Structure 1
């Protein structure tokens, strides 16, 4: 896994493994990551499906319950394809923008 810390968030990406192994590795490393906003860069997965994205649902709900952002980035699957509890956007910049907006909302207790 590749971790890139950018201020209040960590962008996580992976090269040349399956989405299932990516999720498995994320779960193993989660204890170290639970206090940061997370952006998962899934752009490198050429055969990503809504089913693959839904596999992140439990960890997404847990992370958001902890008061942190959890955003997936993919241009293969859209927010219309997945449950509302999963935040998915097509670009890394949009993910950064959402994290920033969610941070402001949490600061304002909205």
Structure 2
């Protein structure tokens, strides 16, 4: 797992190659990330299933309750099949853009 911080956003990159163990590591260390927006970078995985993506729903719900953004970046994925409760995008740039829009909405009181 590799962690990069840029402003109010932390990007957590999977370097383990196993979605389940990566999620377990993120969950164990969640307290150190909970005050920032989170981007989960799964770009190294070329064959992600919908079930792999759904594993992140509980931590995403918890993070959104704290009024922070949670975005999953996955390449080669059917984004229309993504659950409504989870934001899944194809690039890190798009993830940062979504977080920026979320920040603006929160600042405006939406």
TM over 0.5: yes
| TM-score between the two structures when normalised by the length of structure 2 | 0.95
Structure 2: unaligned runs, 5 residues or longer: none
**Structure 1 unmatched runs, 5+:** none
Number of the residue aligned with 2:69: 69
Aligned partner of 2:36 in structure 1 is 36
Alignment RMSD (CA, Å)? 1.0
Contact kept in structure 2, 1:79 and 1:87, CA below 8 Å: no
In the alignment, structure 1 residue 9 sits paired with structure 2 residue 9: yes
Residue aligned with 1:5, SS:
strand
TM-score between the two structures when normalised by the length of structure 1: 0.95
Task: Please give the alpha-carbon distance, in whole angstroms, between the structure 1 residues aligned to 2:46 and 2:108.
Answer: 38
Q: Which residue of structure 1 aligns with residue 92 of structure 2? A: 92
Q: List, as ranges, runs of 4+ consecutive aligned residues in structure 1 with deviation greater than 3 Å.
A: none
